[in-house]
Amino acid sequence: MNERNILVVAHAGREDTVAAALRVVDALRDAGARPVLAVDDRADLVAVEPRFADVVALGLDVELADLELAIVLGGDGTILRAAELVRGSGAPVLGINMGHVGFLAEIDRDDMDAAVRRVIDRDYEVEERLALSVRVKDSAGEVVYETWALNEATVEKASRERMIEIVLEIDGRPLSSFGCDGMVVSTPTGSTAYNFSAGGPVIWPSVEAIAVVPLSAHALFAKPLVVSPDAAVAIEMLEGISGYGILWCDGRRSHDLPPGARVVVRRSSRPVRLARLHPTAFTNRLVRKFQLPVAGWRGQGAQA
C-alpha cells in the first residue's frame, strides 16, 4: 500500500499555530498517514518544539509528486506560501484559519480535528482557481524571467521619487500609455486583495476573468478593466523615459524591471487546487470579511 503523504504548513512564530501543527501531525500518524513538512518549516518548528524532528521533509524524504494534500494552518499569506510549495504536484490545499478572517481558508481552528478526519476519509471536494502565468522580456524580446501568481501580478515603481511610464496592451493591441505608480493584474481569487485596495472590482470566484487596475495613473482613461480569462495583458516599460520598476507576484516573488522591459500576463495552464469541506457562498465570505451591514434583510427563503 502506498504511503499517504500529507504536507503540513505552519508558521513557527505563533504558539497556538505550533500547538495546532503538532495536533495535526499526531492525528495524521494515528490515522496511518505520513505528515510531511517543508525543509524550512521543519527547521523553524524544531527550534521551538523538538518533537517535530522526526517528521519527514519535502524534497529530502518525500518527492513533490507524491504529496496527496496540504493542510495549511494560518491565513491567506500562509496559504499562498503553501500553494507555492505544492506547485506542480496537483495536491490540493486545505486552509485552516488560525485567527484571521481570510478568503482562502476553508474552516476555523475549532473544526480542525474534524477536518483531519475528513482528509483521511478523502471526504472533500476540490475547487480549481484560475492562476496567472507571468513572463518578463527584455528590450530585445528575450524571456528573462518566468513565474506564476494565484492572487495578482503587480508592476510597481522601484523608487518613491519617480513614476514609471508604461504602455498597456491587451491581446496584442495597445490600449493607452501613461505615467503611474504601477499596475495590478488580478485573478478573481485576488480581487479581494491588492486589487480591492487599488479600487478594482470584486470578482466572484466562479467568474473567470482577469482584472487590470492602474495605480495612481496620470491619465484620463485609466479605469479598472475586466478582460477575458484568455486575454494576454502586456505592460511595457517605455524605454528612455520610464523609471525603474519591479514585478511582484503574490507579494512573494519579484524581479527588477529596467526601462524597455515587457511583462506579459495570461492565464496559467495549471490552476491552483483548493480542498473544500463546506462550500460557502462567496457573499457570506464578503459579509464576514468586511463586516458588511445586512440587518433588515428579509429575503431568506424567498425566490429571487
Phi–psi pair at 290, nearest 5 degrees:
-100, 5
Q: What is the DSSP string of 271-288?
A: -EEEEESS---HHHHHHH
61 a catalytic residue: no
Torsion of CA 277, 92, 105, 294, to 10 degrees: -60
Own/partner pairs for 77-80, CB < 8 Å, 24+ apart? 77/251, 78/9, 78/10, 78/11, 79/104, 79/105, 80/104, 80/150, 80/151, 80/250, 80/251, 80/252
d(CA 304, CA 294): 17
Give me the half-sphere count of Cα atoms (radius 13 Å) on the Cβ side of residue 209: 16
Give me the half-sphere count of Cα atoms (radius 13 Å) on the Cβ side of residue 193: 25
Secondary structure letter of residue 202 according to DSSP = P
Residue that the C-alpha cell 529596467 belongs to = 258
149 Cβ partners below 8 Å, 6+ apart? 131, 132, 134, 187, 190, 249, 250
Residue that the C-alpha cell 497556538 belongs to = 16
| Active-site position among 26, 44, 54, 76 | 76
Write out the three cell numbers for 270: 495549471
Looking at the annotation, which residues are catalytic?
A: 76
